[in-house]
């Protein structure tokens, strides 16, 4: 069973996405801000991280940069989640070190496909 860290500050989003992913058979751990996300990611040995970009404390861009800078999470797949469907956001996320990018509202089949692709790549 793949272990996924979901970093999301909005409680409703967190609740909804975690439950939907658990239904699909993933083991989900949650973090409520960028700092907690980085801390948990470095020690948790996750297979994949779903990272919201608008976070308190440190935002998703910065959290991703920090995770990429340390050996424990250097290669952990990170999918950026953002509500900002702005043209430059995808590039910005990839630049920060994300492996993929998805916009809200989450279309679950689309997200699942991205998750599975990355997990297969790493396997």
Partner 1 sequence: MTDFAAFAGPLTPELASELRHELRTPVNHIVGYAEMLIEDAEDAGATERKGMLDETLTAAREVLTIINQMLPPGVATIGREAVDGLFERLRTPQGKIVHLVDGLLATVTDDSAVQDLHKIRRAAQRLVPAPAAPAPAGTPQPAAGLPSTADGSTPARLLVVDDDTGNRDVLRRRLEREGYQAECAENGRQALDRIAAERFDLVLLDVLMPELDGYEVLTRLKEAPATRDIPVIVISALDDMPSIVRCIERGAEDYLTKPFDPILLRARISASLEKKRLHDLELEFIRQVGRVTEAATAVEDGTYRSGTLDDVAARGDALGRLARVFDGMAAEVQARERRLKDRLRELRADIGIARTSHEMPAVLDGGALELGHHFAERYEIVAMIGTGGMGTVYRARDLELDEEVAIKTLRPELMMDETLLERFKSEIRLARRISHRNVVRTHDFGEWRGVSYLTMEYVEGLTVRDLIQARGPLQAPSALAIATQLAESLTVAHEQGVVHRDIKPQNLLLDANGVLKVMDFGIARLAESTSALTVAGLIIGTPAYMAPEQLLAETADARSDLYAMGVVLYECLTGQLPFDAPTPVSLVAKVLSEDPTPPTSLTPDIPPALSALVLRLLAKRPEDRVQSASELAGLLRQIG
Site residues for partner 1 per CB under 8 A: 9-13, 15-17, 19-20, 23, 56-57, 83-87, 104-106, 108
Taking the complex as a whole, how short is the minimal distance between the CB of residue 117 and partner 1, in angstroms?
A: 21
Nearer to partner 1, 17 or 49 (CB): 17
Taking the complex as a whole, how short is the minimal distance between the CB of residue 20 and partner 1, in angstroms?
A: 6
Nearer to partner 1, 66 or 73 (CB): 66
- Residue 103 in contact with residue 85, Cβ under 8 Å? yes
Nearer to partner 1, 83 or 119 (CB): 83
d(CA 47, CA 115): 10
Q: For strand 100-103 and strand 78-82, is the pairing parallel, antiparallel, or unpaired?
A: parallel
Q: Which two tokens stand for residue 117?
A: 């692709």
**Cα angle at 66 between 102 and 13, to 5 degrees?**
35
Taking the complex as a whole, how short is the minimal distance between the CB of residue 82 and partner 1, in angstroms?
A: 10
């Amino acid at each position: 069973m793949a272990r996924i860290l979901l970093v999301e500050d909005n409680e409703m989003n967190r609740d909804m996405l975690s439950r939907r992913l658990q239904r699909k058979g993933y083991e989900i751990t949650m973090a409520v801000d960028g700092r907690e996300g980085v801390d948990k990611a470095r020690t948790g040995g996750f297979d994949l991280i779903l990272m919201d970009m608008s976070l308190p404390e440190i935002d998703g861009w910065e959290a991703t940069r920090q995770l990429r800078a340390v050996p424990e999470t250097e290669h952990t797949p990170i999918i950026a989640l953002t509500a900002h469907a702005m043209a430059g956001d995808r590039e910005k996320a990839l630049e920060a070190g994300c492996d993929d990018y998805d916009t809200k509202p989450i279309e679950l089949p689309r997200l699942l496909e991205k998750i599975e692709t990355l997990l297969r790549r790493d396997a």
